[in-house]
Amino acid sequence: MTETIRVENVTKQFTLRYHRTFKQVTVAMMKGRRISDTFNAVDDVSFTVSAGESIGLMGLNGSGKSTLLKMINGVMRPDQGNVRTRGRIAGLIATGAGFHPQLSGEDNIRLNAAILGMSEKEIDRRYDEIVAFSEIDTKFLKTEVGHYSSGMSARLGFSVAIHVDSEIFLADEVLAVGDRPFKRKCLKKMEQVRDSGRTLFYVSHSAGSVRRMCTRVLLLEKGQLIFDGDVDEGIKILHYDEDKDENEPDTDQDQDDEELGNDI
């Protein structure tokens, strides 16, 4: 198989700062309290991914999923270990694209696409397609993105990212916002990505859509990779199946996604 991502013993350490101002720091030091603390957001994680695989990255909130994705797409650098990738990487981190709130939708599309590595010509060619997919009214495209609803900017972000020709697509909780018809559309588009042989990285809390989308599951817990393998087994380890009976609000969401999964 052709490998596209290599993650080797990657560790990312975050520093917590309890006190930020000069006054707070001096007071804390006089009282002998700690002024900072560190923890490993991602702790010695290794795996490789091949082209055509679609990985479901799962774990509870704060388990290091987004940090791991940020290192794969190059926003963050690991403190230890190596990340190596092949080809262009596109996608969404933590439900949204990197949009500038003071820029119009149109400017943001171009800027975002250019950052992802598209050339001017490529962008011109794809522009209409991107707008059409996002289903955002052209009159809003002249407005600042800061005034968009969260669903609207998520739609625009997804639309830009999915239209970039990339070898690796990262989708971090893309379906957390957005209405049902759009979710369905996104899932369908991601299935196309998966079937075209590109590498898909999918972060989700919904067992249903992971089962539909993914061929392999990675489980993170407190920054450590505790499972790497079969989808059903991974979901079982995370107890997301049991959650359905215990946790009311989750049930709705889960069933919703389950249905969505079946729709496709």
**Which stretches of the chain bind other proteins, using CB under 8 A?**
1-2, 4, 6, 14, 51-52, 70-77, 79, 82-87, 89, 93-94, 96-103, 107, 110-112, 114-116, 119-120, 167, 196-197
Smallest gap from Cβ 93 to other proteins, in A, equals 5
Q: Which structure tokens are listed for 260?
A: 């969505």
Q: Based on CB atoms, which residue is closest to other proteins, 143 or 253?
A: 143
Q: Based on CB atoms, which residue is closest to other proteins, 76 or 213?
A: 76
Smallest gap from Cβ 231 to other proteins, in A, equals 21
CB 180 within 8 A of CB 260: yes
Q: Diameter of the chain by CA atoms?
A: 62
Pairwise CA distance, residues 142 & 203, whole Å: 31
CB 175 within 8 A of CB 206: yes
Q: Based on CB atoms, which residue is closest to other proteins, 100 or 125?
A: 100
Smallest gap from Cβ 251 to other proteins, in A, equals 31
Q: Based on CB atoms, which residue is closest to other proteins, 70 or 163?
A: 70
Smallest gap from Cβ 157 to other proteins, in A, equals 9
Smallest gap from Cβ 167 to other proteins, in A, equals 6
Q: Based on CB atoms, which residue is closest to other proteins, 115 or 241?
A: 115
Q: Tell me the backbone φ, ψ of residue 140, rounded to 5 degrees.
A: -80, -20
- Taking alpha carbons only, the member of 246, 247, 244, 245 closest to residue 257 is 244
Smallest gap from Cβ 46 to other proteins, in A, equals 16
- Taking alpha carbons only, the member of 244, 179, 260, 177 closest to residue 212 is 260
Pairwise CA distance, residues 58 & 205, whole Å: 7
Q: Based on CB atoms, which residue is closest to other proteins, 6 or 222?
A: 6
Q: Which residues contact 209 (CB under 8 A, 6 or more apart)?
A: 175, 187, 202, 257, 258, 260, 261
Q: Tell me the backbone φ, ψ of residue 83, rounded to 5 degrees.
A: -120, 130
Pairwise CA distance, residues 3 & 124, whole Å: 31
